[in-house]
Amino acid sequence: MTATIVARDLDVFYGERQALHGVRLDVPAHAVLALIGPSGCGKSTFLRCLNRMNDTVDGVRVRGSLTLDGEELYGPDVDVVALRRRVGMVFQKPTPFPKSIFENVAFGLRLGARVPRAELEGRVEAALRGAALWEEVRDRLATSATMLSGGQQQRLCIARALAVEPEVLLLDEPTSALDPVATARVEALLQSLRERYTLVIVTHNLQQAARVSDHTAFFLHGRVVETAPTEVLFTRPRVKETEEYITGRFG
Amino acid sequence: MLGTRHTDASYEEELRRLGTHVARMTALSERMARDAVTALRTRDGALARAVVASDPELDRLEIECDAMALRTLARRAPFGEDLRLVMACVKVVTDLERMGDLACNLAQRALELMQDPVGLGPGPEVEQLADAALREVGDAFAAWQARDADAARAVVGADRTVDALNRTAFATLLQLAREQPGQFDRALALTSICRYLERIADHAVNVAEQTVFLVDALDVRHGLSGDEGR
Work out the mean pLDDT of chain A and round it to a whole number.
93
Residue A169 near chain B (CB below 8 Å): no
Residue A242 near chain B (CB below 8 Å): yes
Quote the pLDDT of residue B126.
95
Q: ipTM score of the complex? A: 0.77
Quote the pLDDT of residue B98.
98
Is B4 in Cβ contact with A236 (below 8 Å)?
Answer: no
Quote the pLDDT of residue A156.
96
Q: How far apart are CA A32 and CA A197, in angstroms?
A: 9
Q: How confident is the model at residue B28 (pLDDT cuts 50, 70, 90)?
A: very high
Q: CB within 8 A of B34, min separation 6: which ones?
A: B134
Q: What is the DSSP letter of B5?
A: P
Is A207 in Cβ contact with B7 (below 8 Å)?
Answer: no
Residues of B in contact with A232 (CB under 8 A): 230
Residues of B in contact with A205 (CB under 8 A): none
Is A210 in Cβ contact with B79 (below 8 Å)?
Answer: yes
State mean pLDDT over B145-174. 95
Among A55-59, A98-102, B91-95, B105-109, whose mean pLDDT is lowest?
A55-59
Q: How far apart are CA A137 and CA A104, in angstroms?
A: 13
Q: Structure pTM?
A: 0.85
Above 80 in pLDDT, residue A2?
no
Mutate to test the interface with B, among A236, A238, A250 (most CBs of B within 10 A): A236
Q: CB within 8 A of A129, min separation 6: which ones?
A: none
Above 90 in pLDDT, residue B40?
yes
Give me the residue from B6, B77, B80 closest to A235, CB to CB: B80
Measured between its terminal Cα atoms, the distance across chain A in Å is 41
Is B6 in Cβ contact with A235 (below 8 Å)?
Answer: no
Nearest-neighbour CA in chain A from B213: distance (Å): 10
| Residue of chain B whose alpha carbon sits nearest to that of A247 | B79
Percentages helix, strand, coil for chain A (3-state, rounded to 5) are: 40, 25, 35
Residue A204 near chain B (CB below 8 Å): no
Residues of A in contact with B7 (CB under 8 A): 248-251
Above 50 in pLDDT, residue A48?
yes
Quote the pLDDT of residue A178.
85
| Residue of chain B whose alpha carbon sits nearest to that of A209 | B79
Tens of pLDDT along A67-124?
999 999 999 999 999 999 999 999 999 999 999 999 999 998 888 678 889 999 999 9
Q: Beta-carbon neighbour count of residue B80 at 10 Å? A: 22
Q: How confident is the model at residue A159 (pLDDT cuts 50, 70, 90)?
A: very high
Residues of B in contact with A209 (CB under 8 A): none
Q: Alpha-carbon dihedral of residues B5, B8, B13, B15, nearest 10 degrees?
A: -80
Quote the pLDDT of residue B222.
83
Extract the runs of DSSP E, i.e. beta strands, from B99-219: none
Give me the residue from B82, B217, B230 closest to A247, CB to CB: B82
Sheet holding A60-68, edge to edge: A17-27, A5-14, A60-68, A71-72
Give me the residue from A237, A242, A248 closest to B8, CB to CB: A248
Extract the runs of DSSP E, i.e. beta strands, from chain A: 5-14, 17-27, 32-36, 60-68, 71-72, 87-90, 168-172, 198-202, 215-220, 223-229
Above 80 in pLDDT, residue B53?
yes
Quote the pLDDT of residue B1.
63
Nearest-neighbour CA in chain B from A209: distance (Å): 12
Tens of pLDDT along A165-185?
999 999 999 998 888 888 998
Above 80 in pLDDT, residue B226?
no
Residues of B in contact with A244 (CB under 8 A): 2, 4
Quote the pLDDT of residue B227.
64
State mean pLDDT over B161-181. 94
Is A244 in Cβ contact with B5 (below 8 Å)?
Answer: no
State mean pLDDT over A36-48. 96
Residue A34 near chain B (CB below 8 Å): no
Q: How confident is the model at residue A1 (pLDDT cuts 50, 70, 90)?
A: very low
Contact of B152 with B143, CB cutoff 8 Å: yes
Q: How confident is the model at residue B209 (pLDDT cuts 50, 70, 90)?
A: very high
Q: What is the DSSP letter of A167?
A: S
Quote the pLDDT of residue B228.
58
Share of chain A above pLDDT 70, in %: 98
Look at residue B121 and give its three-state secondary structure.
coil
Is B217 in Cβ contact with A236 (below 8 Å)?
Answer: yes
State mean pLDDT over A23-44. 96
Q: How confident is the model at residue A249 (pLDDT cuts 50, 70, 90)?
A: confident
Q: How far apart are CA A119 and CA A131, in angstroms?
A: 18
Quote the pLDDT of residue A245.
95
Quote the pLDDT of residue A4.
87
Above 50 in pLDDT, residue A188?
yes
Give me the residue from A206, A234, A243 closest to B2, CB to CB: A243
